[in-house]
A = this chain, B = another copy of it.
Amino acid sequence: MNAPNIQFADLTRLVLPESIVLVGASEKPGSIGQRTLENLTVHSGWQGRLALVNPARQTIAGRACVPSVADLDYAPDVAILAVRADLVVDTLRLCGERGIRYAIVFSSGFGETGEAGRALEVRMREVVAETGLRIYGPNSPGLTNVNGRLGMSFSPAFKTDQRPGPIGVASQGGGLGRSFIQAMDRGVGTGLWFSGGNEVDLEVSDYIHYMADAPDIEVIVSVLEGVRDGPRFMAAALHAARRGKPVVALKVGKSDYGIKATQSHTAAISGSAEINSAVFKEVGVIEVDDVDQLIDTASMLARGKPTGRERIAVYCFSGGTAALASDQIGLGGLVMSEFAPQTRHALSQLLPDYAAIDNPVDVTAEVLVDPSLTYTALKTTAEDPNTDIVMVPIPVEYGQTTTLLGESMVRVQRDVKTPIVPIWMSDRTGEGHRHMIEGGLMPMRSVRNAVRAMRRYIEYGRWKAQRDPDWAPLGRNRQPASTATLSEVDAKFLLQRAGVAVPASRMAATPEDAARAFRELGGEAVAMKVVSATITHKSDVGGVQLGIRSAEQARAAHAQICEQVGRACGPGQVEGVLVEAMLTGPFVEVVVGIHRDPVFGHVCMFGLGGVSIELFKDVSRRLLPLTPQSARAMIAETRCSELLGGYRGRPACDVDALVDTLVKLSDFVVEHAHRIEELEINPLAVRPQGQGVMALDAVLSFQTTEKSTW
């Protein structure tokens, strides 16, 4: 489903090369070249062929060394560049010319430092274009393949990154990526970490696409400051979805402070936070707000395949904690399971009278001193046929009690499939905590964190279940350029041609025309508006009159509009006056806006008209093209849907017609996507069931450089 021009390189040999050349190898303790060599030879378990380049040495650490890449008698899969910034471009060119496929560039001093650095990056891209070499970095701490036990990294921390697993990470900066990696100490196995730095060539999207196909990776994590190429990112995300692998992302740059800090850090363009979030949601990227959420959500997803219908049991030895957990499950909009009769019966046989055998289960601390009982009670809960996740909040380190609980939990998890999710709430840790981590149970750190991770897990399941595999975003992104706006009459004409109802109307050149138009339009109320390509705010210049109820009034209004507009705007601006039938009967006013986002392409926004949209920001967004399903979902997401459903005795509105119209508007913009920058219908009147919808006003902006006809 990728657009034909979106290509992704196969990175298999970058991630696990058969041969590597380290340019800038060194013996000097603490130097980048020395640390990297140590990581490759001492802390890795890699058996490939390693060449070293250093013009000043013949051997390094007992290994042969050549003066230049040009002196190699074969082309290694990967070149690692641990050299000064000013040597990077020439070295890359040598690599490319030698037929090396990938270069990992540690060096900093490029785009992040200013103009001269950006010029070097342009030259690096020229090497890519001219030689076919693919560049990872620069300004990168390297590539860490934990599952393959290969650290192409200068980090002294690599040797401690020893917990392989099904999670793969693609980050831009290094700090937050490593922060995620260190969750290994909480039991989060992370098999692969791309830390792509300035991304002169390969970027986060490439790493996501690779991991979607990588057999050892099941969950993809990304930390990013800006999406450089929206369509590529969406294509990579949808590829992961097709492979059944969730993508969890932390995107920095949502507030003014964050955007400013991001720009000064990596010069990344943050884009609109609202659009980013809407796009992520639509292509199945699970967005989180902090590193701990990234860890918790990825952990959950590494433990099961959500369906979107998960019901939760709480198992605890503290009544207050059980109540807190239940409370947060409710506040988070999740569902607690109702135990089957056999579960209740079995628990009541096992546990003492004062224990709570309903969900939440409170076994009380007294019970947790009996190993067999502890095992059986938890297993019974986890085997309940109505339970899909067991949450075990543990408020305190409590010596023998929590040790036993940890052991039992690991044993039960070996015997039942239902994920058991411990929450270690205390800052004091002990044996029980260690058992969980070693047993692969990855404890969460607070009830709220756990509930949020579960919510994201379940929502992802729902997204998967509802996703349309044939849909792909239009992705016609473009930087804003010279635009113009159609007159209301022209815009409505196009809408009508696209199948969208607009009010019946007549153009009136003279007062007499206006009177005749009034009669032809059925003799009820009409609105009259000046028509002019140059006047945008018609009301401000006296160009609009509403609620005209007789031919006589229409005649007078025409004269008055022409006179007022002429006075305000000078002669020759008035093309005529539009006489338009006013809608009678009840209706709800909604707003539909489609605009071209410079990163992701056209996005549709929907919300309630009037003050609600501005006071309460109650809008939903979807990428084009809309489908009947996505249009219906975007209506349902807003509070507005309650009004449309027939609020407090009002008639239910024609939501089917609204869905149909949203799709028609989408189809219309898709057809003219090369030229339409923005289309806003405000208001779109949604009438009672069976009566349809009607666009009461419309504004259409288009790119003036596009010369073709509508």
Contact = CB atoms under 8 A, between A and B. Distances in A.
Interface of A: 108-109, 112-113, 156-157, 160, 171-176, 178-179, 182-186, 188, 223, 225, 250, 252-262, 264-266, 289-293, 295, 317-324, 326-331, 336, 353-354, 356, 358, 360, 362, 395-399, 425-429, 445-449, 611-612, 614-616, 618, 639, 642-643, 647-648
A369 to B, nearest CB: 9
Contacts of A185: 426-429
Given A173-B320, A185-B428, A356-B264, A178 B258 contact: no
Given A396-B157, A445-B445, A258 B326 contact: yes
A398 B188 CA distance: 19
Contacts of A353: 113
Given A176-B395, A182-B426, A323-B262, A328 B446 contact: no
Nearest to A334: B257
Nearest to A181: B396
A257 B330 contact: yes
A446 B360 contact: no
Given A331-B254, A354-B108, A396-B178, A326 B184 contact: no
B330 A258 contact: yes
Given A182-B396, A182-B426, A395-B178, A611 B647 contact: yes
Contact of A396 (B179, B360, B428): B179
Contacts of A648: 614
The residue among A160, A398, A425 with the most chain B CB atoms within 10 A of its own CB is A425
Contacts of A618: 615-616
Contacts of A256: 330
28 contacts: A109-B354, A112-B319, A157-B399, A173-B321, A175-B318, A182-B427, A182-B428, A184-B428, A185-B428, A252-B320, A257-B336, A258-B326, A258-B331, A260-B326, A262-B327, A265-B319, A265-B362, A292-B445, A292-B448, A292-B449, A295-B427, A445-B445, A611-B647, A612-B615, A614-B648, A615-B618, A615-B643, A615-B647
The residue among A174, A331, A427 with the most chain B CB atoms within 10 A of its own CB is A427
A156 B401 CA distance: 11
A289 B396 contact: no
Contacts of A254: 327, 330-331
A321 B183 contact: no
Nearest to A353: B113
| Identical copies in the complex | 2
Given A175-B320, A257-B336, 7 more contacts: A179-B426, A253-B323, A261-B327, A265-B323, A290-B448, A291-B425, A615-B647
Contacts of A109: 354
Contacts of A250: 324
Contacts of A612: 611-612, 615-616
A425 B292 contact: yes
Contact of A358 (B173, B223, B264, B291): B264
The residue among A160, A179, A253, A396 with the most chain B CB atoms within 10 A of its own CB is A179
A392 to B, nearest CB: 13
Contact of A329 (B157, B257, B293): B257
Contact of A427 (B112, B186, B264, B266): B186
A429 B108 CA distance: 28
A448 B258 contact: no
B324 A258 contact: yes
A338 to B, nearest CB: 12
A265 B331 contact: no
Nearest to A108: B354
A175 B185 CA distance: 26
Contacts of A160: 428
Nearest to A450: B290
Given A330-B255, A428-B185, A225 B320 contact: yes
A174 B399 contact: no
B447 A265 contact: no
Contact of A113 (B171, B253, B264, B354): B354
